[in-house]
Amino acid sequence: MSTTTLENLAGDLASGTVRLVDLTHTLDPDFPVIILPPEFGQCARFRMEEVSAYDHRGPAWKWHNLTLNEHTGTHFDAPAHWVSGRDLPNNTVDEIPAEVFIGPVVVIDCSAGAAADDDFELTPAVIAAHEAKHGEIPPDAWVLMRTDWSTRRGAAYLNMQEDGPHSPGPTPEAIRFLIDQRNIRGFGTETVGTDAGQGAHYTPPYPAHFYLHGAGKYGLQCLCNLDQLPPTGAILIAPPLKIRNGTGSPLRVMALVP
Amino acid sequence: MSVPPPPKKNPLERTRAPQLPPQTRSRAALGLSVAAAEGRFALQHCAECGTVQYPPRDACVSCLSHDLRWRDTDPKGKVLAQTTVRISATVYFRERGDWRVGMVQLDAGPSVVCHLHKDTPPDAPVRLINRLDRAGQSVLIALPHDSPYSLKDDPQLQTMTSAPRHRRILITDGRNPNAPALARALIKAGAASVFVGEAETWLPSPQRAALEDMDGVSLLPLDVTDTRSVKTLAAELGGKTDILINNARFMRPGGVLARGDTTFAAQEMEVNYLGLMRLAQAFGPAMCGRTAGGDNSAVAWVNILSVYALSNDPAYGCYAASHAAARSLTQNMRADFAGAGLRVMNAYVGPTDDAWHDPLPPPKVAAGALARSIVGGLEDGLEDVFCGDVAQDFITRYRENPDITEREMTALGGNQ
C-alpha cells in the first residue's frame, strides 16, 4: 500500500499534479537577522570565506568556510532555544524524532491585515475566522502565519524604529489557543522571529517562543512563498541539520502542494 | 600660489610605475625616521659631552662615546648656501623636476644639507622640520623662520605629505559615530570626494542623514566583515581611492573573564583585525599600483587604533588585544606597502567620546578632535599620531619604560 502511495507521489511530482514549493530565503550576507540590545550577544550574520577556487590554494576544487548562527536565515527553532523549553526531553535538533520534520500544514492568511498594519496581531478571532472558512486545524499540524512580509527588502524587513522593530505576530492568547485547543506541531512565520516585532511587550514577553517551546513545539521563521500554499492540504518538509545540542538550524523548507 | 587640482588622468597613458627616493639608511640614521614619523625634529645628543651631531653615527664625533640619545632639538638655523638640482641620476628625482636644496647651519651646532621650502629666502633665518619622504625615510626641510608654512603649497615638498586636498578618500564605516566629523574635516581640508562605506543597510543608521546632507560625500555599501562586500567595493573604487581611512570598529567593555566566552572577542577580531586584513588585501594592491601619479595618486592608508594596542587596558582588555593584533598587522602593511611608497598612518586614541565609554571620566577624544588629528597628520605626512591627552600621556610613559607602563596598567588595577 505504502509502495503504491510513494509510486503515486513520484508520478504526481513528475507530472506536476503535486508541486514542490520552496519556502526558503537564500542564505546571503545581507539577509537581516534578529537584533538585540548591543550589550547582549548577537546573532551571527551569514558569512562565507573562500578556502580555494581552483587555484594555488587548492588546484582542482572550490569551497568555502561558513560562519552563521543556528538562527540565521530561514531557520528552525527547537524547544531548547527558549528558557521555557530547556528541561524538556528531546529538545535539541539532534534529538527531535525525524518524523516530525514532515507533516501537514495549515496556512492562516493574514496578508491583508499585515498590509494595513505593521503590528498586525494574529488573535484567537483571526484563527476562528480561518477555521470557519477552512475547517478546524487538525492536531499535530504545522501552522504558518502568512503575511507576505517576505516580499519586503532591506530596512523594511526588520522595520526597526526607535522603539524597536515593528512586524506582525501572534498574541499570547492565539498561541495558547493553538497549543491548548489544537495541539499543533509547530508555528511558522515570514518575519525574522515567530513573535511580533513588538513581542517583548506582551506578557509573557515573546509569547510564541515562550509558550511553543515550553510545550515542546517547534518554530520556523524567515519563510517565503507562503502565498503559494493552500490553506489546508499541503505537506511541509522541514528537517533541520543534526547539530549536537543545537537549539535550531538553518534549513531548506519545502512544501508538497496538491 | 597654491597647487591647482590635478587634471584627470589621460586614459591612453600608462599609469606610472611607482618610484621611490633612495631608501637605504644606516641603523643609526633610522632614529631620524622614527622622529619624522611623528613630525619631531630630533638629533643625536652625546650623553657624555653634550655634542649635538648630524648626520647620525654610532659614536660621538667629539668624544667617541656610544651613549647617544635622540632628543628633540632646537630647529632654528641659517641658510649657508643653496642650489637647485636640475639633473639627477635617481629616477624618482628625474621624474619630479627641479629640487631646491641648501646647507643650513643649525644654532644647535651641526650643519645639514636639506630641502628648502619655496618661500625660504637666501641667507635668512630658517627652522628645520623632519618629515618622511615617499620611501618612508627622514628628510630635513628648511622653512621660513616665523611665518606659517604649508608643505602642500610647495609642488616639491607636497610629495612629503598625504594632504587630503584634491584627494578621493574612503571612510570605511559610516556607522561609526565619528564618520560625520571625519567626512566634514576632510571636505574642509579640500578633499575632492569622500566615499563612506555603510554596513547592514537593512538597519537604520543614526549617521546616515548627516552624511547624506554633506556635499562631496557619497554613501556606498561596505561591510568589513564580509569579504565579498569588501572585494566588490574595491573592484569599483580601489583604483580611485587616494586615501583610505579605516574607522570600522567593534568594541565591548571587559577583559578575559568578563563574559566567559569568545563571542564578542571574535567579533572584535572579525572587525578590528580581519576587517583590516580584508581591506588591505582588497584595496592595497590597487592603491599600491597608483602611488606614482604625482598629485593624482594613492598616498596614504589611515588606521585608528586604541593606544592600548601598545599595552593592555584590562577594563577593555579583549578590545585592546584585538587592536594589538591590528597594530601588528599595520607593521606588516607598512612593509608590504613600502615598495610603492603608500604611507600607513596610525592614529592612536585613548577612550573616545561615545556610548561604549560612557562610564569613564573625561578626558575623552571627541570625534572632531580625532578628525583634526587625522587631517593634520595627513598634511604633515606622518606615520604615527597620538590624539588627545590620554594617548599622548600614555605614549610618553610607554616610551620611558614599557614594562613599568604594563605594571601601571595591570598590577595596579588598570588605567588611572
Q: What is residue B15's predicted lDDT score, i.e. its pLDDT?
A: 80
pLDDT tens track for A27-48: 999 999 999 999 999 999 999 9
Nearest-5° Cα angle at B221, B216 to B226? 140
Answer yes or no: is B414 within a domain: no
pLDDT band at B411 (very low <50, low <70, confident <90, very high): confident
Q: What is residue B414's predicted lDDT score, i.e. its pLDDT?
A: 52
pLDDT band at B124 (very low <50, low <70, confident <90, very high): confident
Name the phi and psi angles at B353, rounded to 5: -85, 80
Are B97 and B223 within one domain? no
Active site residue A81: yes
Residues of B in contact with A42 (CB under 8 A): 263, 267
From the CB of residue B237, how many other CB atoms can be counted at a distance below 10 Å? 20
> Judging by DSSP bridges, how do beta strands A218-221 and A75-77 pair with one another?
antiparallel
Radius of gyration of chain B (CA): 22
Length of chain A: 258
**Does B358 reach chain A within 8 Å, measured CB to CB?**
no
Are B219 and B338 within one domain? yes
Q: What is residue A179's predicted lDDT score, i.e. its pLDDT?
A: 98
Interatomic CA distance for residues A176 and A12, integer angstroms: 37
pLDDT band at B48 (very low <50, low <70, confident <90, very high): very high
Mean pLDDT along residues B170-182? 98
Mean pLDDT along residues B12-21? 84
Inter-chain residue contact A39 with B267, CB threshold 8 Å:
no
**Does B328 reach chain A within 8 Å, measured CB to CB?**
no
Shortest CB distance from B204 goes to which of A42, A49, A155?
Answer: A155
Answer yes or no: is B18 within a domain: no
Q: How many CB pairs under 8 A join A and B?
A: 39
Residue type, A236: L
**Which three cell numbers, joined as nine digits, stand for B330?**
599595520
**Which three cell numbers, joined as nine digits, stand for A248?**
535550531
Shortest CB distance from A29 goes to which of B226, B261, B267?
Answer: B226
Domain boundary among B103, B122, B156: B156
Residue type, B89: A
- CA B326 to chain CA mean position, Å: 15
Residue B104 β-bridge partners: B79, B112
* CATH at residue B224: 3.40.50.720
Are B119 and B180 within one domain? no
Inter-chain residue contact A154 with B252, CB threshold 8 Å:
no
Inter-chain residue contact A29 with B261, CB threshold 8 Å:
no
Shortest CB distance from B201 goes to which of A41, A47, A154?
Answer: A154
Which residue has better confidence, B153 or A99? Answer: A99
Task: Report chain B's terminal Cα–Cα distance, integer Å.
Answer: 49
Kindly tell me the sign of the dihedral angle through the C-alpha atoms of A167, A169, A172, A174: positive
pLDDT band at B415 (very low <50, low <70, confident <90, very high): very low
Helical packing angle, A124-134 and A172-180, nearest 10°: 50
Answer yes or no: is B3 within a domain: no
Q: What percent of chain B has pLDDT over 90?
A: 80
Are B217 and B265 within one domain? yes
Inter-chain residue contact B225 with A157, CB threshold 8 Å:
no
A25, A75, A81, A213: the active-site residue: A81
Where in chain A does DSSP place strands (E)?
19-22, 47-55, 58-67, 75-77, 102-109, 121-122, 142-146, 160-161, 164-165, 169-170, 186-189, 218-221, 234-237, 248-250, 254-257
Residues of B in contact with A33 (CB under 8 A): none
Are B110 and B148 within one domain? yes
Residues of B in contact with A30 (CB under 8 A): 200-202
Answer yes or no: is B161 within a domain: no
Q: What is residue B4's predicted lDDT score, i.e. its pLDDT?
A: 72
Answer yes or no: is B16 within a domain: no
**Does B232 reach chain A within 8 Å, measured CB to CB?**
no
Please tell me the least confidently modeled range out of A56-65, B232-241, B353-362: B353-362
Q: Find, among A28, A27, A33, A22, the residue nearest to A157 by Cα.
A: A33
Give the single-character DSSP code of A152.
-
Give the single-character DSSP code of A223.
B
pLDDT tens track for B283-310: 999 999 999 866 679 999 999 999 999 9
**Which three cell numbers, joined as nine digits, stand for B392?**
599622548
Residue A235 β-bridge partners: A104, A256
Please tell me the least confidently modeled range out of A161-170, B175-184, B405-414: B405-414
Residue B13 has pLDDT above 90, yes or no: no
Answer yes or no: is B162 within a domain: no
pTM higher than 0.80, yes or no?
A: yes
Domain interval for residue B56: 30-156
Are B323 and B352 within one domain? yes
- Asked if the interface predicted TM-score (ipTM) of this complex is over 0.90, the answer is yes
Answer yes or no: is B7 within a domain: no
Residues of A in contact with B204 (CB under 8 A): 155, 160-161
Kindly tell me the sign of the dihedral angle through the C-alpha atoms of B39, B44, B50, B54: negative
SS3 letters for chain B?
A: CCCCCCCCCCCCCCCCCCCCCCCCCCCCCHHHHHHHHCCCCEEEEECCCCCEECCCCCCCCCCCCCCEEEEECCCEEEEEEEEEECCCCCHHHHHCCCEEEEEEEECCCCEEEEEECCCCCCCCEEEEEEEECCCCCEEEEEEECCCCCCHHHCCCHHHHCCCCCCCEEEECCCCCCCHHHHHHHHHHCCCCEEEEEECCCCCCCCCHHHHHCCCCEEEEECCCCCHHHHHHHHHHHHHHCCEEEECCCCCCCCCCCCCCCCHHHHHHHHHHHHHHHHHHHHHHHHHHCCCCCCCCCCCEEEEEEEHHHCCCCHHHHHHHHHHHHHHHHHHHHHHHHHCCCCEEEEEEECCECCHHHCCCCCCCECHHHHHHHHHHHHHCCCCEEEEHHHHHHHHHHHHHCHHHHHHHHCCCCCCC
Cα A197 to Cα A56, A118, A194, A218, distances in angstroms: 47, 9, 9, 19
B250 to chain A, closest Cα gap in Å = 11
Q: Which of residues 128-187 of A touch B (CB under 8 A)?
A: 154-155, 157-158, 160-161
Interatomic CA distance for residues A92 and A251, integer angstroms: 15
CATH of A18-41+70-257, one of 3.40.50.300, 3.40.220.10, 3.40.50.970, 3.50.30.50: 3.50.30.50
Are B152 and B228 within one domain? no
B182 to chain A, closest Cα gap in Å = 24
Cα A213 to Cα A87, A186, A190, B65, B366, distances in angstroms: 10, 9, 18, 79, 47
**Does B11 reach chain A within 8 Å, measured CB to CB?**
no
Q: What is residue A143's predicted lDDT score, i.e. its pLDDT?
A: 98
The residues, any chain, with a CB within 8 Å of residue A55's CB and separated by 6 or more, are none
pLDDT tens track for B130-168: 999 999 999 999 998 877 777 777 877 888 899 999 999
Domain boundary among B130, B156, B182: B156
Are B280 and B400 within one domain? yes
Inter-chain residue contact A41 with B203, CB threshold 8 Å:
no
Interatomic CA distance for residues B219 and B210, integer angstroms: 11
Nearest CA in chain A to B250: A38
Residues of B in contact with A35 (CB under 8 A): 203
Q: Which of residues 33-72 of A touch B (CB under 8 A)?
A: 35, 38-39, 41-42, 45, 47-50
Kindly tell me the sign of the dihedral angle through the C-alpha atoms of A24, A25, A28, A33: negative
Mean pLDDT along residues A205-209? 98
Are B174 and B141 within one domain? no
Are B117 and B172 within one domain? no
Instruction: Please identify which residue in the block is written with the cell numbers 527588502.
Output: A153
Answer yes or no: is B104 within a domain: yes
Cα A98 to Cα A75, A179, A189, A209, B297, distances in angstroms: 16, 21, 21, 21, 61
Cα B372 to Cα A37, B149, B368, B377, B388, distances in angstroms: 32, 17, 6, 8, 11
Kindly tell me the sign of the dihedral angle through the C-alpha atoms of B196, B197, B201, B207: negative
Q: What percent of chain B has pLDDT over 70?
A: 97
Residue type, A96: I
Residue A90 has pLDDT above 80, yes or no: yes
Mean pLDDT score across all residues of chain B:
93
Nearest CA in chain B to A38: B252
Are B150 and B243 within one domain? no
Mean pLDDT along residues B387-395? 96
pLDDT band at B341 (very low <50, low <70, confident <90, very high): very high
Q: What is residue B365's predicted lDDT score, i.e. its pLDDT?
A: 94
**Total domain count, chain B:** 2
**Does B200 reach chain A within 8 Å, measured CB to CB?**
yes
Shortest CB distance from A29 goes to which of B204, B229, B252?
Answer: B229
Are B172 and B279 within one domain? yes
Domain boundary among B156, B176, B195: B156
Residue B199 has pLDDT above 90, yes or no: yes
Q: What is residue B416's predicted lDDT score, i.e. its pLDDT?
A: 44
Interatomic CA distance for residues B411 and A258, integer angstroms: 71
Kindly tell me the sign of the dihedral angle through the C-alpha atoms of B380, B385, B389, B393: negative
Nearest-5° Cα angle at A218, A217 to A221? 145
A240 to chain B, closest Cα gap in Å = 23
Q: What is residue B1's predicted lDDT score, i.e. its pLDDT?
A: 43
pLDDT tens track for A121-173: 999 999 999 999 999 999 999 999 999 999 999 999 999 999 999 999 999 99
